[in-house]
């Protein structure tokens, strides 16, 4: 089972990283992945105008038809005459021929602002679908495309191994200095500590797993700077998902996309807790009516209502605590700092995992 929020943190990339591999790959990939969808939308937006233009075409054609059948005893119907004399027998044929002109107009108006991700972070999206198919799903605020990205796991392993080797070289050098200084002081009368005992006495571990856990925060902090200077040789090709809007939390859209269309086995609890913290109405606002209904049916209506009710209960309790803290502060019984800290502690409780019955 995959915790989606944790997975997103561990499988994120930046557009800067992708463009460092190939300067134009994101631009070209996002254009290609959204082109046909956006072209169809472009046509749909102009459908009323196109239908009027087709009617004008028919009116002109009817004048030609009437001239052509003048004096005939058994003239064909207009529709029959069209099949034999006109280039198009229906609106669909006319529109198909019109598409080349429409495509040229569409391309003249199309700019990277129409399809390039607006947010610098993108995420790996393992799936059996193509980017075109995913974009046609109509998940608000998301864009799917295929690109080459860094194999961060390979770089991470290389970085950690190099840091481990550097660490060992450092303590070996310090130990040699210790031995040299010790022997110069004692002239061989006393043997220096063994390397292992010296390490233990000075707080150095020789156990890789222990060293890794003790230094993981520092390693993660330094990894990005190290990666920037590395040649971009270790890469993978795959589908990525980015954002086409900002200024709001788009995690509901990401949660829904990964649950429905990725090949990951998503832990439903992480999504349910997202509903608890943000509210089902916010998920509905981000996803839209159709996608939200599908999400509720996938998760189960009763469990969604349970988590949403728990979120409302928690925030109601939080509001009551804030009101009480404000009253105590205004009466001078609490200072601003204490009231603020207690408020933060109360808010933290609203974010705690929920144990469903």
Minimum mean pLDDT range among 66-75, 76-85, 118-127, 342-351:
66-75
Burial classification of residue 275, based on how many CB atoms lie within 10 Å of its CB (0-12 exposed, 13-18 middle, 19 or more buried) = buried
**What pLDDT score does 81 carry?**
79
Quote the tokens at residue 87. Answer: 């280039």
Rounded mean pLDDT, 186-201 = 84
* Residues 200-226: tens digit of each pLDDT: 989 999 999 999 999 999 999 999 888
Question: Do residues 158 and 118 both lie within one domain?
Answer: no
Question: Do residues 198 and 137 both lie within one domain?
Answer: no
**What pLDDT score does 178 carry?**
86
Could you tell me if residue 30 is inside a domain? Answer: yes
pTM, whole model, 2 decimals?
0.75
Could you tell me if residue 53 is inside a domain? Answer: yes
Question: Do residues 109 and 132 both lie within one domain?
Answer: yes
**What pLDDT score does 76 carry?**
82
- Of 151, 169, 196, which closes a domain? 151
Could you tell me if residue 241 is inside a domain? Answer: no
**What pLDDT score does 79 carry?**
81
* Residues 143-188: tens digit of each pLDDT: 999 999 988 888 999 999 999 999 999 999 998 998 888 888 877 6
C-alpha 50/C-alpha 181 separation (Å) is 91
Instruction: Report how many domains make up the chain.
Output: 3
Identify which of 309, 252, 314 has the alpha carbon closest to the alpha carbon of residue 283: 252
C-alpha 190/C-alpha 183 separation (Å) is 8
**What pLDDT score does 357 carry?**
61
Rounded mean pLDDT, 61-65 = 82
Question: Do residues 332 and 312 both lie within one domain?
Answer: yes
Residues of the chain above pLDDT 70, percent: 99
In the predicted structure, residue 73 carries a pLDDT above the cut 80 = no
Could you tell me if residue 146 is inside a domain? Answer: yes
What is the β-pairing status of strands 121-124 and 142-150? Answer: unpaired
In the predicted structure, residue 300 carries a pLDDT above the cut 90 = yes
Question: Do residues 64 and 76 both lie within one domain?
Answer: yes
* DSSP class per residue in 68-128: HHTT-SSPPPHHHHHHHHSS-SSHHHHHHHHHHHHHHHHHHH--GGGTS-SSSEEEE---S
Could you tell me if residue 291 is inside a domain? Answer: no
**What pLDDT score does 352 carry?**
84
In the predicted structure, residue 336 carries a pLDDT above the cut 90 = no
- Of 228, 256, 290, which closes a domain? 228
- For the CA atoms of 309, 310, 312, 316, the dihedral, rounded to the nearest 10 degrees, stands at 140
Could you tell me if residue 244 is inside a domain? Answer: no
Question: Do residues 45 and 79 both lie within one domain?
Answer: yes
Could you tell me if residue 293 is inside a domain? Answer: no
Question: Do residues 70 and 204 both lie within one domain?
Answer: no
**What pLDDT score does 257 carry?**
96
Question: Do residues 165 and 117 both lie within one domain?
Answer: no
**What pLDDT score does 133 carry?**
94
* Residues 115-137: tens digit of each pLDDT: 899 889 999 999 999 999 999 99
Look at 184 and 309; give whichever has higher pLDDT: 309
Could you tell me if residue 216 is inside a domain? Answer: yes
The alpha carbon of 224 is separated from its chain's Cα centroid by a whole number of angstroms, namely 19
- Of 93, 119, 151, which closes a domain? 151
3-state secondary structure of 330: helix
Residues of the chain above pLDDT 90, percent: 52
Question: Do residues 193 and 214 both lie within one domain?
Answer: yes
In the predicted structure, residue 347 carries a pLDDT above the cut 70 = yes
* Residues 92-115: tens digit of each pLDDT: 988 998 999 999 999 999 999 888
Question: Do residues 89 and 138 both lie within one domain?
Answer: yes
3-state secondary structure of 23: coil
Question: Do residues 14 and 125 both lie within one domain?
Answer: yes
Question: Do residues 139 and 111 both lie within one domain?
Answer: yes
Domain range for 337: 269-277+301-357
**What pLDDT score does 230 carry?**
83
């Amino acid at each position: 089972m995959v915790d989606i929020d944790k997975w997103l943190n561990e499988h994120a990339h930046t557009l800067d990283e992708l463009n460092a591999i190939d300067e134009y790959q994101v631009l070209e990939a996002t254009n290609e992945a959204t082109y046909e969808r956006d072209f169809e939308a472009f046509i749909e937006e102009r459908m009323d105008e196109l239908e009027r233009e087709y009617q004008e075409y028919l009116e002109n054609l009817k004048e030609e038809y009437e001239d052509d059948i003048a004096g005939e005893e058994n003239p064909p119907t207009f529709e029959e005459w069209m099949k034999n004399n006109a280039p198009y027998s229906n609106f669909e044929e006319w529109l198909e021929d019109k598409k080349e002109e429409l495509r040229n107009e569409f391309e003249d108006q199309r700019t990277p602002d129409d399809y390039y991700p607006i947010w610098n972070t993108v995420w790996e999206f393992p799936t059996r679908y193509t980017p075109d198919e995913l974009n046609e799903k109509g998940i608000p605020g998301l864009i799917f495309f295929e690109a080459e990205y860094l194999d961060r796991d390979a770089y991470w392993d290389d970085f950690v191994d190099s840091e481990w080797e550097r660490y060992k070289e450092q303590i070996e050098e310090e130990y040699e200095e210790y031995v040299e200084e010790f022997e110069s002081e004692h002239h061989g009368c006393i043997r220096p500590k063994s390397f292992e005992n010296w390490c233990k006495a000075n707080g150095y571990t020789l156990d890789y797993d222990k060293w890794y856990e003790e230094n993981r925060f520092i390693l993660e902090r330094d990894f990005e700077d190290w990666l920037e200077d590395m040649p971009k040789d270790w890469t993978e090709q795959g589908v990525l998902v980015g954002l086409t809007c900002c200024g709001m939390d788009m995690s509901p859209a990401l949660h829904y996309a990964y649950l429905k269309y990725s090949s990951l086995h998503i832990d439903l609890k992480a999504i349910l807790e997202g509903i608890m913290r943000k509210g089902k109405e916010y998920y509905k606002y981000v996803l839209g009516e159709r996608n939200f209904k599908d999400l509720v049916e996938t998760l189960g209506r009763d469990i969604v209502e349970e988590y949403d009710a728990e979120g409302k209960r928690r925030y109601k309790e939080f509001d009551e605590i804030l009101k009480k803290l404000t009253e105590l502060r205004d009466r001078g019984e609490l200072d601003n700092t204490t009231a603020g800290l207690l408020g933060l502690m109360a808010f933290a409780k609203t974010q705690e995992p929920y144990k469903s019955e």
